[in-house]
Amino acid sequence: MKLNKIRENIYKISRDDYPEMNVPAFLYASDMMIEDIQNDQSLTQLKNAAMLPGIANGVYAMPDIHYGYGLPIGGVLPVFADKGVITPGGVGFDINCGVRLITFDINKSELKNPESLVKHLYKKIPCGVGEGGNIKLSNKEMKKLLQEGSKWAVNSGYGNESDLYNTESFGCLSEADPSQVSKRAMERGSDQCGTLGSGNHFLEIGSVDKIFDKKTANFWGLEEGKLTLMIHSGSRGLGHQICTDFLKVFERTLEKYKISVPDKQLSCAPVDSDESRKYFSAMACAANFAWANRQILMNLAVSAVADYFKVKAENLNYRLIYDVAHNIVKKEFFDLKSKNCEIYVHRKGATRALPPGHKDLPEHLKKSGQPVIIPGDMGRYSYILSGVKNAPELSFNSACHGAGRVLSRKKAVKTAGDRNIAIELKDKNIYVMSRGKKTLKEEMPDAYKDVANVVDVVHNLKIAEKTARIKPICVIKG
């Protein structure tokens, strides 16, 4: 792909070089990352996305870009409500995959036996491919959950109402319509609320290891040396099934709306079409399911931590810093050429990052900007950043979402050979337990880029600025 470097950390794929594009594509990455990025087909996917109709300004790729279904992971696709298209490939299979971060008023030094804590967590958190949990929902109750998201979880006894104010969109997309969710999707989801999943999903106890921005950290209640809980999970089989169901629908709509796409995986329909409305309503259900899921997982993990410290869960002082999605399409408003425009922003492996003062932030976060949670790998660290001033213009309020792989899962397993990743991590005082036999090899630290380099790109561009770094202590995986 022909890339033009327009300034430090910004590369452009230009319409002068590829006239088939309707808008330019922008890649945010450092010089040293370019070679790896050029090695897969992700930039071709980005260029293909720029050929869709009705895009606002451009398409964008974050430094953790890699190959995905349709739009690359790490891609942002903003479209005008009145002339753009919705594409399920712009969201991906794991609808509202996202991350949540919690802090405890407990010092790292008080955690004397992390090996025991990881066992407590592993026992309490259902995880693994296809695994169900302890909550079985009737059809009626499922419908309620899909409409209400996090609020359903709070009303069902999982957490506090204040948690909603520390969740993106208050943990609910109001467009959710359960009648657009297939029976099969409902069935797959009905016993999976409160389950972690597998692959790169994880639940981790860590500690704040470094503060970059003291003011923002203080404001949010992040203190060096305190224990944290991070949860990375999504909408499980429900979201997967919804995506599968609608991909079939959208492949058939191309002819109907006379849209030509360079890649069937970018099948789409006008925003204002029956198909897009139905997809959006079903996608919103999956998003709400994922928020309820993480809300419940948080409560299960908090009770495991309480068990370990031999205190009652209600006496354990914890605080939800934020919960943010990184696979979603949302209706948002942006000032473009001094006109307020309704935009549907597809974020796929991209985290929303609202700058200070944004109207969608709750009052208590207006001053700091939105917390942007960026998980790394299980052997190094994760970051929390705050949305800053260049986010609207550079990326429609979006930042990176993680480290990004350097080795495919298959390659990682092969490279790991007969290494014992759990023992290697234990030597670094990180205690991991995993249900899947291959998971730890697939997810070993060497399979990922150093997230510090990824985060530095968005930090230097002033899309989101570094607030704190978190180091893992106990990790459970599916």
Annotated binding site for GMP: 200-204, 326-327, 375-378, 382, 401-404, 477
Q: Which is nearer to DNA, 114 or 199 (CB)?
A: 199
Comparing C-alpha atoms, which of 475, 443, 478 is closest to residue 117? 475
Note the maximum CA span of the chain: 65
Nearest distance, CB of residue 94 and DNA, angstroms: 4
Instruction: Give the DSSP H/E element, type plus range, for residue 477.
Output: strand 464-477
Nearest distance, CB of residue 195 and DNA, angstroms: 8
Q: Let me know how many helices (H) and strands (E) the chain has, helices first.
A: 14, 19
Comparing C-alpha atoms, which of 421, 427, 434 is closest to residue 475? 434
For residue 138, give every residue at least 6 positions away whose Cβ sits within 8 Å of its Cβ, in sequence order, or none.
none
* Residue 120 appears among annotated catalytic residues: no
Question: What tokens does 364 get?
Answer: 């208590």
Using only C-alpha atoms, the chain has a radius of gyration, in whole angstroms, of 21
- Determine the angle formed by the axes of helices 274-309 and 114-124, rounding to 10 degrees: 140
| Binding stretches for DNA (CB under 7 A) | 93-94, 97, 129-130, 184, 187-188, 192, 197-201, 234, 236-237, 240-241, 244, 436, 478
| Angle of CA points 182, 152, 287, to nearest 5° | 50
- Whether the Cβ atoms of residue 288 and residue 172 lie closer than 8 Å to each other: yes
- Whether the Cβ atoms of residue 136 and residue 207 lie closer than 8 Å to each other: no
Residue ranges at the known binding site: 94, 200-204, 232, 326-327, 375-378, 382, 401-404, 477
From the centroid of its chain, how far is CA 103?
19
Q: Which is nearer to DNA, 279 or 396 (CB)?
A: 279
Q: What is d(CA 467, CA 292) in angstroms, rounded to the nearest whole number?
A: 27
Nearest distance, CB of residue 412 and DNA, angstroms: 12
- Whether the Cβ atoms of residue 102 and residue 321 lie closer than 8 Å to each other: yes
Q: Which is nearer to DNA, 293 or 299 (CB)?
A: 293
- Whether the Cβ atoms of residue 421 and residue 354 lie closer than 8 Å to each other: no
Nearest distance, CB of residue 336 and DNA, angstroms: 33
Nearest distance, CB of residue 428 and DNA, angstroms: 21
Nearest distance, CB of residue 200 and DNA, angstroms: 3
DSSP 16: T
Among 240, 346, 401, 459, the active-site one is 401
Strand, helix or coil at 15? coil
For residue 118, give every residue at least 6 positions away whose Cβ sits within 8 Å of its Cβ, in sequence order, or none.
205, 431, 432, 433, 474, 475, 476
Residue ranges at the known binding site for Mn(2+): 94, 201, 232, 326
Active site amino acids:
401
